[in-house]
Structure 1
Amino acid sequence: MTERRTAIDWFWRIVLIVWSLTILFPLAWVLYESLKTNQEFFQNVWAFPETLKWSNYKTAWDKYNLGGAMLNTLYYVGVSLVLGTFLTTLNAYALTRMEFKGRKLVWGVIMLSLFLPGINALIPQYVLMRDLHLTNSLTGLIILDSFGESVFFLMLLGGFMQSLPKELEESGTMDGASLFQVFGRIIVPLAMPGIVTVAIFKFLGLYNNFLGPFIYLSDPKKYTIGVNMYQADQMMQYTADWVTMFAGVMIAMVPSVLMYVFCQRWIMEGATMGAVKG
């Protein structure tokens, strides 16, 4: 039995290693292609560069205005992340820790939204944003993404909050703490691992968000990094500077890759603790 279990374990380890290689190989390929000259790229896309052309990264930074796009992305992602995480925490607390009439009905309506593809709300959202004169505005995008709650984040953080002992709130209330003091001084510190997990997921989603900025932003000076790289890709119809394009792609990937590398422990811990009640 032990030998069979060990063989199965090794089988799945090999499967996971192969799977990880299929993910890492394209990234490695883009990396060494970004260090070639265009002549080397067109001669043989699989050959390694003779000399490393790190100047391609400086060319991409200047040519595609990555500095301005990064600042726009920092503003959009940063404000949306702080405001959206706060609202998600507040909503999760109200729906899981507070008792009021209609709470189950509200949860039911929220769950029903899972059956509605998000793309179906695109047209009414755009009409609303247009009527409020919030199109072509990073602030408008922040409002849209911050107040547009995600069921996944509510379920994740709500499940985590439900695992906290109810006696903590009761003792705080007996000591004279108000509702907001209980929320800010008891629930938020204890739920911090779950909040950090939600914040990480939100960051990755906001940073990689392409459709929203692409639809609502028309001024190139306001483009986020995703839309900016899409426009750079469209330039390849008229030029053949692929190595600079690959360098720009690598620069665009750096923030999200670093976020995952340094925060994956909190992602796993928060997701696991949120799934355990009691």
Structure 2
Amino acid sequence: MKVNERTIGDYLWRIILFIWAMSIVVPLLWVLYESLKTNQEFFANVWALPQKWAWVNYKKAWVSYELGSTMLNTLYYVGVSLIVGTFLTTINAYALVRLEFRGRKMIWSIIMLSLFLPGINALIPQYILMRDLHLLNSLTGLVLLDSLGESVFFLMLLGGFMQSLPKELEESAFMDGASLFQTFMRIIVPLSTPGIVTVAIFKFLGLYNNFLGPFIYLSDEKKHTIGVKMYHANQIMQYKSDLVTLFAGVTIAMLPTLILYIVFQKKIAEGATLGAVKG
């Protein structure tokens, strides 16, 4: 009887998960085939498939929304922030988890306390700081802001992984004459690669989808990232009816994250419990 109940429960969960997956996949497919219609076909029937694939919409979106320069801005912002931010997260996690020094527990307590503070509370102080440092309307300034701004979630995730590494590895390295930085780079970093890759993937997704920061700090349209550019493209639709071009632009904007998820989906799934499992 218990086996039957468990089987029924499994089927119910599968049905629920299938419905949940369809609620995500169907809108993506809808946007895709709407981007291949003409505006006349779209307004005639939003659910009908296109009679002829209008690939010209993608060329039009690329040119009219200046997606080439926008992608370069996004690549610079995301790429540099990802490299610098991931390195800082790794070295911070190492210092807080593997090193013994006075005040370490107090620092961890303060970091944990920040979990209860909404990130939006830091918006005004950050804006004033960026203004006083003359970093407003600068992609480099935005890179510095996002690289130096640490995330408690990433520290806990990577710190939990590093805690599982044997302490004897560092002691052996010190006995062989390795410095602290050499021990970090040659022992801790290689052994922590799975955790670092997971953190990097989550950082990439967060940076690429970041809208609020670029929207507030970048006033020059030539410096906009993809999220802000598509927001302004959507605002233009209040005065125009070229929705199929907008759908084509949205599809182009989604491609990097979709490709990343398809390639690293196992890493992303494992990352949700990495700290708990390794810690």
TM-score (norm 1): 0.98
Q: Spell out, residue by residue over 1:158-178, the C-alpha distance to the aligned partner (whole angstroms, 9 max, x if none).
A: 001011111111111122111
Match of 2:69 in 1: 68
Check the 8 A contact 1:210/1:226 in 2, yes or no: yes
Aligned to 2:199: 198
User: Secondary structure of 1:3's match?
Assistant: helix
Contact 2:35 2:244 in 1 (8 A): yes
SS of the aligned residue for 1:203 comes to helix
Letter in 1 for 2:81: S
Instruction: Please list, as runs of the form range in 1=range in 2, the aligned pairs for 1:23-62 lying within 5 A after superposition.
Output: 23-62=24-63
Q: Does 1:18 align with 2:19?
A: yes
Aligned letter for 1:61?
Answer: W
Identity of aligned residues (%): 73
How much has 1:272 moved relative to structure 2? 3.8
> Is the Cα contact below 8 Å between 1:96 and 1:162 reproduced in 2?
yes
Alignment of 1:124-139 (within 5 A): 124-139=125-140
Cross-structure match for 1:268:
269
Deviation at 1:270, TM superposition (A): 4.2
* Aligned position for 1:92: 93
Q: Distance in 2 between matches of 1:126 and 1:56?
A: 38
Tell me the CA shift for residue 277 of structure 1: 4.1
Stretches of structure 1 that go unaligned for 5 or more consecutive residues are none
Question: Which amino acid is the alignment partner of residue 123 of structure 1?
Answer: I
**Separation in 2 of the partners of 1:212 and 1:269?**
28
Aligned to 2:148: 147
Is 1:247 the counterpart of 2:257? The answer is no
Q: 1:4 maps to what in 2?
A: 5
100-109 or 161-170, which moves further after superposition?
161-170
| Contact 1:157–1:198 (8 Å) recurs in 2 | yes
CA distance in 2, matches of 1:91, 1:3: 50
Matched residue type, 1:266: K
Does the CA-based 8 Å contact 2:36-2:57 persist in structure 1? yes
Distance 2:117 2:139 in 1: 26
- In 1, distance between residues paired with 2:278 and 2:63? 51
Matched, 1:181 2:171: no
- The one-character-per-residue Cα deviations of 1:25-84 (angstroms, maximum 9, x if unpaired) are 111111111111001111111111111111110110001000010000000000000000
Matched, 1:227 2:235: no
What is the letter of the counterpart of residue 162 of structure 1? Q
Q: Distance in 2 between matches of 1:142 and 1:201?
A: 17
Deviations 1:190-248 (A, max 9, x none): 00000000000000000000000000001111000000111111111111000000000
Give the aligned CA root-mean-square deviation in angstroms: 1.0
1:97-119 CA distances to partner (integer Å, 9 max, x unpaired)? 00001000000000111111000
Match of 1:171 in 2: 172
What is the CA deviation profile of residues 120-156 of structure 1, one whole-angstrom value per residue up to 9, with x for unaligned ones? Answer: 1101100110010000000000000000000000000
Matches of 2:178 and 2:268, distance apart in 1 = 31
SS, match of residue 71 in structure 1: helix
Tell me, yes or no, if structure 1 residue 236 matches structure 2 residue 259.
no
Unaligned runs of 5+ in 2: none
